[in-house]
Amino acid sequence: MEAPEDLKKRVKKVLRLLDRDYGGADCALTHKNAFELLAATILSAQCTDKRVNMVTPKLFEAFPSPFLLAQGRQEEVEEIIRSTGFYRNKAKNLIGMAQKLVEVHAGEVPKTIEELTGLPGAARKTANVVLGVAFGIASGVVVDTHVTRISRLLGFTHETSPVKIERDLMKILPKPKWIGFSHQLILHGRAVCIARRPQCQVCALRKHCPGAEA
């Protein structure tokens, strides 16, 4: 079992290397405002950011505001977002999210985790993305598949559920790093620590990673 002080030192070293290699990491979802980011993040469930970015220009051309999306027809939204998968449920959530923004928040995207998670289709991960990227509010740590996998390899957590992984990461990461850490790990997961074929031999984090291949 790693001592807390040793883990703290290792976390610092990993963060330094992530800053060096992915210092400018940002959200990969294309958006112009908080509303677009919220909609794109809802669409990103079980779908790649690349695919979402192919779909959202048409979606936002047809529905550039919550007021217009709130009046959108289910069939029309479904047709636009069909290629993102689970399109019926996502279309329902997008329209419901826009309706609640209009009815409860005067068309503005709220800035609290409680209000955001009260919107259809917006779980904690979505809320953390919107708060961190759109408003610079460090409400928590975004936990996606890359963050889950690499955090476990690094020994930063041994949990499997996103909620418990986030709790562990919030304990060991300095709060100013909560927003950027996920973006950096996602880039690292795409470029080096690839799920099917991790490139441990060229990984800068290797000597600080208990899960690295021998």
Q: Which residues are catalytic?
A: 125, 144
Q: Hey, CA dihedral for 75, 129, 140, 211, is it positive or negative?
A: positive
Q: Which amino acid is at 59?
A: L
Chain centroid, CA 171 distance in Å: 19
Alpha-carbon distance of 68 to 77, in angstroms, equals 11
34/31 Cα distance (integer angstroms): 8
Q: What is the DSSP letter of 135?
A: H
Residue among 70, 99, 76, 98 nearest 88 (CA): 76
Q: Do the beta carbons of residue 106 and residue 96 sit within 8 Å?
A: no
Closest CA to 94 of 133, 68, 57, 131: 68
Tokens coding 4: 């807390």
DSSP state of 208: G
